[in-house]
């Protein structure tokens, strides 16, 4: 049995539920966006975000004062600018001594570099053919981009050049 609706222009109940769902979703999105967008100003618009120092509200009877470019006079509260937190001391840079891996099987060269604390390793075909070093034990290291014995930041990138054994 097919349900008939009056032909006077009224909508199906499903269309009404769909419209109500869309309107509800838009209201929720609007509330979420308003929560992220900032407070509403006196004119009802959204206040612009400021990169000024954070403010602290303190109650002071019936008077109100404003301090700083980003502070706003609010009812019975005074606004004061809080001091920014001091920056943490930078941690000392960890240094590593670059080992000599020229003439070593490429896999062993990589293991030696990693044992010294150097993990940012790149590799290239020393013959210029652009081959990928897929089986590292079949290659011998012919050069390294940072000389052996040099003290470097452990996050320094080092390129190892290699050719196939017997070439």
Does 156 share its domain with 103?
Answer: yes
Burial 19-43 (b: 16+ CB within 10 A, else e): eeeeeeeeeeeeeeeeeeeeeeeee
CATH of the domain at 107: 3.30.10.20
Does 81 share its domain with 104?
Answer: no
Note the pLDDT tens digit of each residue in 109-134. Answer: 999 999 999 999 999 999 999 999 98
Note the pLDDT tens digit of each residue in 44-53. Answer: 444 445 455 5
What domain range is 130 assigned to?
95-164
Residue of 80 and 112 predicted with greater confidence: 112
Does 160 share its domain with 107?
Answer: yes
| Domain count along the chain | 2
Does 164 have pLDDT greater than 80? yes
């Amino acid at each position: 049995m097919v349900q008939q609706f009056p032909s006077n222009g009224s909508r199906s109940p499903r269309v009404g539920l769909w419209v109500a769902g869309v309107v509800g979703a838009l209201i929720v999105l609007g509330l979420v966006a308003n929560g992220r967008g900032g407070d509403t100003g006196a004119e009802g618009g959204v206040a612009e975000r400021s990169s000024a120092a954070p403010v602290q509200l303190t109650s002071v009877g019936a008077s109100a004062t404003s301090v700083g470019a980003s502070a706003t006079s609010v009812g019975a509260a005074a606004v004061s600018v809080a001091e920014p937190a001091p920056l943490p001391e930078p941690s000392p840079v960890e240094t590593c001594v670059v080992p000599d891996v020229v003439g070593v099987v490429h896999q062993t060269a990589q293991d030696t570099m990693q044992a010294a604390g150097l993990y940012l390793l790149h590799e290239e075909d020393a013959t210029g053919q652009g081959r990928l070093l897929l089986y590292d034990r079949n290659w011998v290291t012919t050069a390294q981009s940072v000389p052996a014995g040099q003290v470097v930041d452990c996050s320094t990138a080092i390129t190892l050049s290699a050719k196939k054994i017997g070439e």
